[in-house]
Amino acid sequence: MNARFDMLANTLATSFAKRFAAAALVLEQSTLPKATRELVSLRASQINGCGACTDMHTKDATVAGESAVRLHLVAAWREATVFTEAERAALALTEEATRIADAAGGVSDRTWDAVREHYDDDEIATLIATIALINAANRMNVIARTPAGSYEPGMFAGALAD
């Protein structure tokens, strides 16, 4: 499969990608565990059918120490016993926020209450921003039809550095 459009080969798109990546770097300062951020990004990417982001976040999570079992079970997290209650709340929020157009009420009070139970305000802000950013990245990659499979952790560090 070939990309319809190479975002990193276009000056304007690369400039945008650098700023997008800078916004994501802010989230690295959060106390929200990296594992949770990667699980959230992976689940949204699966829902949105973004192969490039699924590839990236699976590999980044692996490098960060995530187990293969947990990564394989993200798509079926409700039936899996390998996720904490906090992670389950984050995954529920991810699904409801990612599928916001499919639910007239948006994020349910039940899910929001579970998120509030497990996360502080900074971690919630990080969850919301992570979900928003990954959904935007998914859409860009799906529109451009960015192929999956060749991502190597850290490969964009030089390309997206200012």
Q: What is the pLDDT of residues 106-145, one digit of tens each?
A: 899 999 999 999 999 999 999 999 999 999 999 999 999 9
Q: What is the pLDDT of residues 86-112, one digit of tens each?
A: 999 999 999 999 999 887 778 999 999
Where does the pLDDT of residue 156 fall: very low under 50, low under 70, confident under 90, or very high at 90 and above?
confident
Nearest to 93 by CA among 138, 61, 123: 123
What is the CATH class of 33-144?
A: mainly alpha
Does an H or E element contain 112, and which? Answer: helix 109-118
Query: Where along the chain do its domains lie?
Result: 33-144
Q: How many helices (H) and strands (E) does the chain have?
A: 7, 0
Half-sphere exposure of 58 (CA within 13 A, CB side): 19
Q: Output the pTM of the full model.
A: 0.94
Return d(Cα 122, Cα 127) in angstroms, integer. 9
Return d(Cα 122, Cα 29) in angstroms, integer. 10
Q: Supply the mean pLDDT for the chain.
A: 94
Q: What is the pLDDT of residue 8?
A: 86
Dihedral, CA atoms, 149, 150, 154, 155, nearest 10 degrees?
-150
